[in-house]
């Protein structure tokens, strides 16, 4: 498996290259959405790729146990030989966030074909994302994730430092005082609430719950694009292997109400290398356990 970073491909790739990338993204999305939402990097808008930073994972077509539909879709990809796209994460910078000095990166859309679920692909995508983006901003950046999928929230917490809300923040604040993040967290959250609802597919009627950092009813609206992201928060197919973290994030959301947690964290070069070491250690432990079975 290998990864490619596309930095604002709508501005840096030729039109044929953009069309090829869009085909790859759609081929992955079709394994998870029916219909595919006209949203973010999947949008049909001509400028949809202009502000995105996208990491795409490719695997050898014959090395994966693809479902038949997936195996046939991109095997003839001439750009990458006998490799085909199996996962991607698409992000963008939020440029209008008053009161925050460091850049704010939003991890807007992450999709993987079913065959690579629970293989650590999310961790690999985030690692590749930060390896490409953090050197552009070595002083560090804020990173946001808006999700109801527990595995996405847990993975974001693991990839970042000073994540809020999170089990680690709760433990720390339980010991040191009331659970209150710093002013930057509120500035970022309020900017999203006031300026980025449409861009992040947040219902106009959703209520921003500042106590819990949850958009109440974020996906609870009559919108075809939002329908594809509605998930049963109790469906364990979307849970992470970290049971305690699942319980924490599940406890923030109501059942069947379309709530989404806004998780905010920070990353710089020092944090990135520390997190990569932690990832390598977890991967080594998984391999050791697998060999023992």
Q: How far is CA 2 from the centre of its chain?
A: 18
Count Cα neighbours of 60 within 13 Å in the Cβ-side half-sphere.
Answer: 2
The pLDDT value given to residue 69: 44
pLDDT of 109 reads: 94
Burial 188-201 (b: 16+ CB within 10 A, else e): bbebbbeebbeebb
| Residue segments in the chain with a per-residue pLDDT below the cut of 70 | 62-81, 170-179, 232, 234, 236-240, 286, 289-293
Residue ranges of domains in the chain: 2-292
- Check residue 9 and give its pLDDT: 98
Confidence at residue 236, expressed as pLDDT on a 0 to 100 scale: 66
- Helices 269-292 and 150-159 pack at an angle, to 10 degrees, of 120
Pairing of strands 104-112, 83-93: antiparallel
| 14 touches 79 (CB < 8 A) | no
User: Tens digits of per-residue pLDDT, 17-26?
Assistant: 999 999 999 9
What are phi and psi for residue 90, nearest 5 degrees? Answer: -120, 125
What confidence score (pLDDT) does residue 78 get? 38
Q: 150 and 238 in contact (C-beta within 8 Å)?
A: yes
Confidence (pTM) = 0.87
């Amino acid at each position: 498996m290998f990864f490619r970073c596309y930095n604002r491909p709508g501005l840096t790739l030729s039109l044929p290259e953009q069309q090829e990338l869009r085909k790859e993204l759609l081929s992955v999305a079709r394994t998870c959405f029916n219909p595919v939402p006209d949203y973010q990097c999947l949008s049909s808008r001509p400028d949809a790729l202009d502000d995105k930073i996208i990491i795409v994972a490719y695997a050898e077509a014959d090395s994966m146990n693809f479902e038949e539909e997936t195996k046939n879709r991109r095997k003839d990809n001439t750009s990458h030989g006998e490799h085909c796209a199996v996962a991607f994460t698409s992000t963008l910078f939020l440029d209008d966030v008053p009161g925050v000095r460091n850049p704010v990166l939003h991890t807007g859309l992450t999709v993987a074909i079913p065959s690579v679920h629970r293989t650590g692909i999310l961790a690999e995508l985030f690692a590749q994302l930060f390896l490409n983006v953090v050197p552009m901003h070595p002083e560090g950046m804020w990173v946001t994730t808006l999700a109801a999928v527990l595995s996405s929230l847990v993975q974001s917490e693991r990839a970042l430092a000073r994540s809020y809300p999170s089990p680690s923040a709760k433990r720390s604040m339980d010991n040191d005082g009331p659970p209150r993040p710093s002013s930057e967290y509120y500035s970022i959250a309020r900017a999203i609430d006031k300026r980025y609802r449409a861009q992040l597919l947040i219902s106009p009627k959703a209520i921003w719950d500042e106590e819990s950092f949850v958009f109440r009813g974020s996906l609870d609206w009559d919108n075809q694009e939002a329908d594809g992201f509605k998930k049963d928060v109790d469906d364990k197919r979307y849970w992470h292997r970290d049971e305690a973290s699942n319980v924490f994030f599940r406890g923030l959301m109501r059942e069947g109400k379309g709530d989404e947690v806004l998780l905010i964290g920070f990353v710089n070069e020092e944090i990135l290398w520390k997190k990569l070491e932690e990832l390598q250690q977890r991967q080594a432990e998984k391999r050791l356990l697998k060999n023992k079975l």
